[in-house]
Chain A
Amino acid sequence: MGSTVLASHQDLTRQLAWSRREFLRTGAAMALGSTLFPNPIALAGVPIKKRKVVVITFGGGARDQETFAPEGQENIPHLMRELFPQSTFFTQVINRGILGHYVATASLATGVYETINNFASLPPEHPTVFEYFRKDLKRPSSDAWIVAPSNGFNRIGESNNRGYGPGLGGSVILPKHLLTAAMSGRTTDYEHLLRDNYESPLFVPDLGGNEFQLKQLELMLKLSVDDFKSHALTLSSPDELSLYIARRLMRQLAPSLLWITLHDIDIAHAGAYSLYIEGIRRTDRLCAEMWKAIQSEPEYAGHTALFILPDFGRDSDDNSGGNGFQHHRTGDALSRTTWMMALGPGIREGVLYDRALQSTDLVPTLGSLLGFSASFAQGKPVEELL
């Protein structure tokens, strides 16, 4: 009986990938990767010092039926029409780790399935991509940045590994903390940008901003508190605030490794389907905006790869142990299986691969592209991107 259940789990995962592939083939006119020859123009053609990578993860995945399935494609017009045709798309990225957003993002960033407490403010146990990048390539802290939501993510930049760790990690910027600091606690008119972590909807984390964060704003981002506050008023969600800060970082510091974690979709945990769909639509738009920003910034255009992937999926409607889109608690195939798209110079356009990758493959792949060795990572480089 046990092997039967396992087999059906694997079948479900394969079916999921197959469906996604068919949806994309029909919806975005993409080709199957196995039918193509290797692309002769690779990122390898760009000098290693000039190569840059931007990673966007979604904290709170979205299901196919709200995205790639025919009935869901209306929610992702930018991904479908603008980005998919320019990307190499992997239909089956499996997360075999813990399905909590902080720990899963930490796993994506280390290439190891981390087991730290999802709700505690702890560093990852294994070296992060930022540490490999900085130590191996002798890069300054200004060259690796993480833009993240508030809950716990302030520790994601560097691990507690003895060979790496303090001083070698990426710089973490928490836009909501910045805004709180800029407002000196008076956040009227800005509450919509300070929405909280939803994974445990009733727990509202403390959003303290401090002097250091204001210095980040003025010294590094060259942004006055007043300008920041005025621009923030034009934004509609925390993820829009994150993207604004990310673009500011790109303009002022041009980091070679930039990691952005979006979080609006995770309102799904509060059980309101319409808000979950709004989150998907906003994320779709923000991903396209980031790709446009990459192409329009001289420091990035022509030598930057963009990776977009949810940290994991959400529960299926068919699993009686869950409650459909609301959570990702069952560990079923749908909640573990997600996708990844990659765009950039040398990355084939309009190509689909449906072989199974693991979430832990991302860091070794970034290592191969940028020239560092992710020696502790469990995953393997994705050959189709190299």
Chain B
Amino acid sequence: MMPIFPHELKPEHFSRYPPQAKKFVIDYIAVLQRLPLSFLPSVLREAIEYDYKFPLERKTLERELANLNSLSAEEFKEWVQDFAQIRLSVALQDFDWINSPAQFVEQLSSHLWTTHQLDAFRTAALAYADRLNAAVPLEAPKAPRLGITVVGQSVASYDGPLFRKLRAHGAYYSRVNPKDGLRALLDAVAARAKAHPAPYAHWYIDGDMQAEHDVALTSISYGALGAPRAALLGKIRAEIARPGMGPEALRTHLAQLRPADLGLANGNEVLDRFCIKMLTEGSGTQIFSTTFVQWTTREALRRAQPLTLLARFAPRQRQRPMNEMLEATAESAEFDPVGSLVDADMGAYYNWVNQQRLAGANESAFLVWFEGQSQALAIGPTTPRGTTSNSATSLEQILASLA
């Protein structure tokens, strides 16, 4: 096949795209034709997934391309000229970047490192992002966001300091009544889902099996994904055993897996695709439940931009050689509750950091609780920073202070 350059793009080149993605790229083909090859596949990587994206992701992508479409010729050149300076190899130019844009971007990344162009590319990308943020500001959320993280399941007591990275930003509570704490948090999340109904706006992510929860919540759990994880690990073992297989080939293979390949069929293709990406693109999400919760929370925040997100960490399996962990079953795994608490403590910090990257950060609130115990920490617009409360309180009262 002869290489195709961006300016040669035609609607028929997108015949293998899913229906909504095809319509989307054809609607914007004029602007796609003007983008440099070092940049265009990054856009197509998002566009080709259009059918499986969350509503806010679609809107963001549409606004980006509409903005590019509205630029004058001179402005357009200014926006993309740094990308145009990136030198590409012949192999990259020949690559089927139209139908495999994600693989192109992966190879582009390797090319940028090898040719010492990574800094130039990052400079171009940051400049573009700054311009885009100025021209198309993030939309404020419909209601202030609330993030809740629950850590320490199965840890009866822990003497180490918790929430160290978060304390300077909020109020630490040492005498929280733990009775029915998880239920109180799930009820609060459900109430927000009823008050501000919107698709994928309210999430519950669990490192174990989900507790009973309101159906209005978008819910994912490490426990419920046990069968797809086992299927995935089986495929990984089979691939690794193939002669000539290396990490890059394995990654490419994993990227091509579809929900049905792992027996995922919840009747919600958007969520199924999201789940499979967590398992195939995340590093460690397949073997450690703590990593699964942290990474899934990060990606849910980044992509769906929810108004509410409750993340509950659970004990992960103890560290063993990777080939053993790939073969572990739920029955054979030994757990490391205290190590998992340390993982989750850092995970809570990252959950807060990632929530604060979204629009409306100044109004957002965050709560982290040591499950079954009396320690919690809250951060909100009116919460005094760096304070400690030794008064008896409840999670309901803390949540009320954040509202």
> Beyond A203-B250, A271-B294: 12 further Cβ-contacts under 8 Å?
A1-B127, A200-B250, A204-B240, A270-B284, A270-B288, A271-B282, A272-B288, A272-B290, A272-B339, A275-B339, A327-B283, A331-B119
* Chain B residues closer than 8 Å to A272, beta-carbon distance: 284, 288, 290-291, 316, 319, 339, 343
Give the contacting residue for A203; candidates B246, B290, B339, B349; CB below 8 A: B246
Tell me whether B267 is interfacial, beta carbon within 8 Å.
no
Contact of A324 with B116 in the complex, beta carbons under 8 Å: no
Tell me whether A376 is interfacial, beta carbon within 8 Å.
no
A120 to B251, CA, bound (A): 15
Give the contacting residue for A201; candidates B123, B283, B290, B336; CB below 8 A: B283
* Chain A residues closer than 8 Å to B246, beta-carbon distance: 119-120, 203
Contact of A192 with B321 in the complex, beta carbons under 8 Å: yes
Contact of A2 with B287 in the complex, beta carbons under 8 Å: no
A179 to B82, CA, bound (A): 51
* Chain B residues closer than 8 Å to A119, beta-carbon distance: 246-248
* Chain B residues closer than 8 Å to A201, beta-carbon distance: 283-284, 287, 322
Tell me whether B347 is interfacial, beta carbon within 8 Å.
yes
A200 to B246, CA, bound (A): 10
Tell me whether B324 is interfacial, beta carbon within 8 Å.
yes
A290 to B251, CA, bound (A): 37
* Chain B residues closer than 8 Å to A323, beta-carbon distance: 294-295, 298, 350
Interchain Cβ contacts within 8 Å, total number: 127
* Chain B residues closer than 8 Å to A252, beta-carbon distance: none
* Chain A residues closer than 8 Å to B283, beta-carbon distance: 201-202, 269-271, 326-327
Q: Tell me if B's interface is mostly helix, strand, loop or mixed.
A: helix
Q: From B164, B322, B326, name the one whose CB has the most chain A CB atoms within 10 angstroms.
A: B322
Q: From B130, B245, B284, name the one whose CB has the most chain A CB atoms within 10 angstroms.
A: B284
Tell me whether A380 is interfacial, beta carbon within 8 Å.
no
Give the contacting residue for A5; candidates B123, B240, B291, B353; CB below 8 A: B123
Q: From A194, A275, A325, name the one whose CB has the most chain B CB atoms within 10 angstroms.
A: A275
Nearest chain B CB to A328's CB is how many angstroms away?
A: 11
Return the chain A residue nearest B293 by Cβ.
A271
Tell me whether A222 is interfacial, beta carbon within 8 Å.
no
Query: Interface 1/0s, chain B 235-257, versus A by CB < 8 A?
Result: 01000100001111011001000
Nearest chain A CB to B247's CB is how many angstroms away?
A: 3
Within 8 A of A (CB), among B319-353: 319-324, 326, 336, 338-340, 342-343, 345-347, 349-350, 353
A275 to B290, CA, bound (A): 12
Contact of B130 with A1 in the complex, beta carbons under 8 Å: yes
* Chain A residues closer than 8 Å to B342, beta-carbon distance: 273-274, 277
* Chain A residues closer than 8 Å to B320, beta-carbon distance: 191-192
Tell me whether A239 is interfacial, beta carbon within 8 Å.
no
* Chain B residues closer than 8 Å to A1, beta-carbon distance: 123, 126-127, 130-131
* Chain B residues closer than 8 Å to A26, beta-carbon distance: none
A275 to B317, CA, bound (A): 12
Within 8 A of A (CB), among B112-128: 113-116, 118-119, 122-124, 126-127
Return the chain A residue nearest B237 by Cβ.
A204
Return the chain B residue nearest A330 by Cβ.
B122
A191 to B322, CA, bound (A): 10
* Chain A residues closer than 8 Å to B321, beta-carbon distance: 191-192, 194-196
Contact of B123 with A6 in the complex, beta carbons under 8 Å: yes
* Chain B residues closer than 8 Å to A277, beta-carbon distance: 342
Nearest chain B CB to A153's CB is how many angstroms away?
A: 15
Tell me whether A247 is interfacial, beta carbon within 8 Å.
no
* Chain B residues closer than 8 Å to A2, beta-carbon distance: 82, 123-124, 127
Return the chain B residue nearest A275 by Cβ.
B319
Query: Interface 1/0s, chain B 183-215, versus A by CB < 8 A?
Result: 000000000000000000000000000000000
Interface residues on B, range: 35 or more
Tell me whether B286 is interfacial, beta carbon within 8 Å.
yes
Return the chain A residue nearest B127 by Cβ.
A1
Chain A residues with a Cβ under 8 A of chain B: 1-2, 5-6, 9, 71, 96-100, 113, 115, 119-120, 191-192, 194-196, 198-204, 267, 269-275, 277, 317, 320, 323-327, 331
Return the chain A residue nearest B325 by Cβ.
A270
Nearest chain B CB to A59's CB is how many angstroms away?
A: 15
Contact of A317 with B343 in the complex, beta carbons under 8 Å: no
A203 to B114, CA, bound (A): 22
Contact of B126 with A200 in the complex, beta carbons under 8 Å: no
A196 to B287, CA, bound (A): 14
Contact of B247 with A269 in the complex, beta carbons under 8 Å: no
* Chain A residues closer than 8 Å to B373, beta-carbon distance: none
Give the contacting residue for B319; candidates A6, A267, A317, A324; CB below 8 A: A267
A sample of 19 cross-chain residue pairs with beta-carbon separation below 8 angstroms, ordered by A number, consists of A1-B127, A5-B126, A9-B119, A99-B113, A113-B116, A195-B319, A196-B322, A202-B247, A203-B247, A271-B291, A272-B284, A272-B288, A272-B291, A273-B342, A274-B340, A320-B357, A323-B350, A324-B346, A325-B346
* Chain A residues closer than 8 Å to B346, beta-carbon distance: 273, 324-325
Interface pairs A-B: 8 shortest CB-CB: A271-B291, A200-B247, A270-B284, A274-B342, A271-B284, A273-B346, A203-B247, A274-B339
* Chain A residues closer than 8 Å to B219, beta-carbon distance: none
A97 to B118, CA, bound (A): 10
Nearest chain A CB to B341's CB is how many angstroms away?
A: 8
Nearest chain B CB to A242's CB is how many angstroms away?
A: 16
Contact of A331 with B118 in the complex, beta carbons under 8 Å: yes
A100 to B246, CA, bound (A): 15
Tell me whether B285 is interfacial, beta carbon within 8 Å.
yes
Contact of A204 with B322 in the complex, beta carbons under 8 Å: yes
* Chain A residues closer than 8 Å to B164, beta-carbon distance: 71
Nearest chain A CB to B86's CB is how many angstroms away?
A: 13
Contact of A202 with B326 in the complex, beta carbons under 8 Å: yes
A269 to B285, CA, bound (A): 10
Contact of A269 with B284 in the complex, beta carbons under 8 Å: yes
A119 to B249, CA, bound (A): 11
* Chain B residues closer than 8 Å to A275, beta-carbon distance: 319, 339
Nearest chain A CB to B85's CB is how many angstroms away?
A: 10
